[in-house]
Amino acid sequence: MFHKEGAKIILASVFITVVIILLTDFFIPIDWLKKTIQVIAAAFLIIVLQFFRNPKRNVDDIKDHTILAPVDGKVVVIEEVYEPEYFKDKRLMVSIFMSPVNVHVTRYALNGIIKYSKYHPGKYLVAWHPKASEENERTTVVIDNPVFGEVMYRQIAGALAKRIVNYAKEGHRAIQGEDAGFIKFGSRVDLYLPIGTKVNVVLNQKAKGNKTVISFK
């Protein structure tokens, strides 16, 4: 299954790959060179397809007292930070970095009412850069959960990402595990939890969207 945000890119990639294969087959008489170009074209198509894959990840048991990983990737930050945009106080940040080979679908990490949703244009620093969460293109979403209170997540573009898609709308209900957006080509997602929240993951742990438990009460 592929994510709808990749439909145009996938169709274009299939068309380009087919054209390259046909042209090389017709115009290039050197067998090894022809096959090399065709293999490279096919490899490009496979990379595009794997990037936009959207594996079905049903939440086993939706619970208000559980926060799940919103994306696939590696936990790169667990620390207290000052959050200046919405809370304007300290929060516990858990950051998950996505490499190009990870699934890039963003899913709602918890249930609740969407209190805030805002897009910020910005730079394209590498996603692990310390200033990426404040200077890169990003979206900020706050969900009011009956157990944890207000929890923020932030989609952050990386050096390769050129578009963030965010489906969260203020006043709507977020349902844990449902599709919340997509980040095209690279990036990370930061979760901002209340100070004192017990975290169920460790640094460098691989997280799996809708499956890895970030915190529970």
Query: 165 and 5 in contact (C-beta within 8 Å)?
Result: yes
Dig out the tokens for 57 from the structure: 């990840």
Q: Which residues in 99-212 belong to E strands, given as ranges? A: 105-107, 112-120, 138-145, 149-156, 163-166, 173-174, 179-184, 187-193, 206-207
- Tell me if residue 21 falls in helix, strand or coil: helix
pLDDT of res. 58: 80
Query: What CATH number does the domain located at 66-216 have?
Result: 2.70.70
Tens digit of pLDDT per residue, the chain (217 long)? 876 876 788 899 999 999 999 999 888 889 899 899 999 999 988 888 877 777 888 887 788 999 999 999 999 999 999 999 999 999 999 999 988 788 889 999 999 999 999 999 877 666 555 666 666 788 999 999 999 999 999 998 866 655 788 999 999 999 999 999 988 766 889 999 999 999 999 999 999 999 999 999 8
pLDDT of residue 132: 60
pLDDT of residue 16: 93
From 13, 95, 133, 187, active-site residue: 187
For residue 92, the model assigns a pLDDT of 98
Give the tokens for residue 89.
């106080």
- According to the model, what pLDDT value does residue 135 have? 67
pLDDT of 50 reads 76
Instruction: Report the 10 Å Cβ neighbour count for 133.
Output: 22
What's this model's pTM, rounded to 2 decimal places? 0.83
DSSP code for 136: B
pLDDT value for 147: 96
What distance in Å separates the CA atoms of residue 89 and residue 102, rounded to the nearest whole number? Answer: 32
187 is known as an active-site residue: yes
Show the DSSP H helices in 64-189 as ranges. 132-135
Q: What is the pLDDT of residue 5?
A: 77
| Closest C-alpha to 149, from 179, 108, 193 | 193
